[in-house]
Structure 1
Amino acid sequence: MTFAHLPAGFITCTLLYDVYKHRIRSYKTYLFWGLLGSVLPDFDFAYLFLFDEAGTNHHVYITHYPIFWAVLLIASAFWLHFDRKSQLPVSAFLFTLGGFIHMFLDTVSGRMYWFAPFSYSVLSGDNMLFSIAPDYAQSHRHWGYGVELLIIFWAAYLYHRNVNSEESEVSALKKDT
C-alpha cells in the first residue's frame, strides 16, 4: 500500500480514543504517536536510497519484520495493562499497533516476509487471492487499490464526523451562555 498507512493510523486512533480518553492529557500527542507508528516502517526508504546501492527490497529490513512489531506490541500491551494512569503506555501501544497494522496493509498489496528473520517465505494478498479465487483475481488485478481507497474514505468519514460533532458542541455551548 502506498497511501493508506496514515489514514489507517488515524482510524486506529479514532476508534481507540474512547477507551483511553481518561488517560490522555494531550490529544495532539496521542494522535502524533498513533500516526507516526503507522508510517514509521517506511522510514527504511531513507536507508534504501542513501546507503543501499544494491537496491534491496525494503521489506527485508527489520522495520518490516512483523515479528519485530509483534514483540513491541506485546511488550507495550503489558506496559499498558500494568500502568493504568500514564499516557506513555497508551502512546507506546498506539505506536506499535500502527506499525503492526502497517505490516498487514503491506501484505494486502505487496510481498511480506512474516517469519523473517527466521524464514523469508513470501506471504502476499495477491497470492492468497489467486489461490482462493483465481478467476476473480485474474479479472480484478488491482483489487488492492480498492482496499486502499476504502481505508482512505473511512478515515475521511471519521474526520468529518469528528469535525461536525465538535462544531455542534461549540454551538451548543454558545447557546447555553
Structure 2
Amino acid sequence: MITAHLPFGYLLGRAAQRYTPPHPWVMPAALIGAVLPDFDLLWFYFVDGRAFHHHLYWVHMPLFWVAVGAVTLPLVRMFQRPLLPVARTFFAALLTHCLLDTVGGDIAWFWPFSDRQFSLVTVEPTHSHFILSYLNHWTFSLELCIWAGAIFLFFRDRPA
C-alpha cells in the first residue's frame, strides 16, 4: 500500500475508541502507529541513497514489533494501566501497516529467522515508474476503498 496507511489508522482508531476504555491518545496512537514504519523513507532517500528497498529496514519487520510489544505491553499493564488501550492500539496499527504492505509489497514476516519476503500480489512494472504501475494495478482499488470508508466516517460523524 502506498496511501492507505493513514486512513486505515483512522479506521483502526475509530474501532479502538469504540471497543476500549475511552482515552484521548487512542486516535493519535493509531495514526502514528499506522505510518511510523514509513518514516524509514527519510533514511532510505537521504542517508542510504536507496541502497536497498525500505521494506528491508527493521521498522518493517513484524516480529521486531511483536517482540517490542511483548515487552512493552506487560510493563504498561503493570505500571501505567490507563495507557494500555493506547499501547495496544499503537502496536495493532504498526502490525496492520505491515499487513497492508504485504498486499502488494514484500514483507519479511519471519525475520530474523528467515529473510524470505511475502507478498499476496505481485505488482508488475508495467509503467515507467513503480508508482504508476501500482496506481494502475487492481490492488489500488483496495486503497481507494479504505480511503472512502475513512472519509465517509469522518464526515458522517462530524457535528453539524
CA contact (8 A) 1:80 1:90 kept: no
| RMSD value, Cα | 2.2
Amino acid of the residue matched to residue 36 of structure 2? L
1:60 and 2:42 equivalent?
A: no
User: Which residue, out of 44, 47, 60, partners 1:48?
Assistant: 44
Name the aligned partner's letter for residue 45 of structure 1.
L
Instruction: Find the aligned partners of 1:159 and 1:85 in 2 and give their Cα distance.
Output: 29
C-alpha displacement at 1:111, in angstroms?
1.2
CA deviation after TM superposition for structure 1 residue 34, in Å = 1.2
> How far is 1:157 from its partner?
1.5
CA distance in 2, matches of 1:76, 1:12: 20
Matched residue, 1:14: 14
Deviations 1:82-107 (A, max 9, x none): 57851x22222111111100000000
Q: CA deviation at 1:150?
A: 0.9
Matching residue of 2:149:
154
Contact 1:5 1:102 in 2 (8 A): yes
- What residue in structure 1 maps to residue 96 of structure 2? 101
Aligned 8 A contact 1:11 1:155 in 2: yes
- Paired with 2:73 and 2:143, the residues of 1 have a C-alpha distance of 27
Amino acid at match of 1:143: W
1:83 & 1:18 partners in 2: Cα distance?
A: 24
Mind listing any 5+ residue stretches in structure 1 that lack a counterpart? Answer: 128-140, 168-177
In the TM superposition, residue 51 of structure 1 has moved relative to its aligned partner by 1.6
How far apart are the structure 2 equivalents of 1:73 and 1:161? Answer: 33
Query: Aligned match of 2:109 in 104, 107, 114?
Result: 114
Say whether the 8 Å CA contact 1:109–1:126 is kept in structure 2: yes
Amino acid at match of 1:10: Y
1:115 CA drift (Å): 1.2
The code of the aligned residue for 1:3 comes to T
- Pick the structure with greater CA Rg: 1
For the pair 1:38 / 2:34, whether they are aligned, the reply is yes
Distance in 2 separating the partners of 1:39 and 1:54: 19
What is the TM-score of this pair, normalised by structure 1? 0.73
> Counterpart of 2:131?
none
Aligned length: 147
In structure 2, stretches of 5+ residues that fail to align are 123-135
Deviations 1:22-56 (CA, angstroms, capped at 9, x unpaired): 4x1x2xx3221210000000000111122213521
SS in structure 1 opposite 2:20? Answer: helix
The one of 109, 117, 123 aligned to 2:118: 123
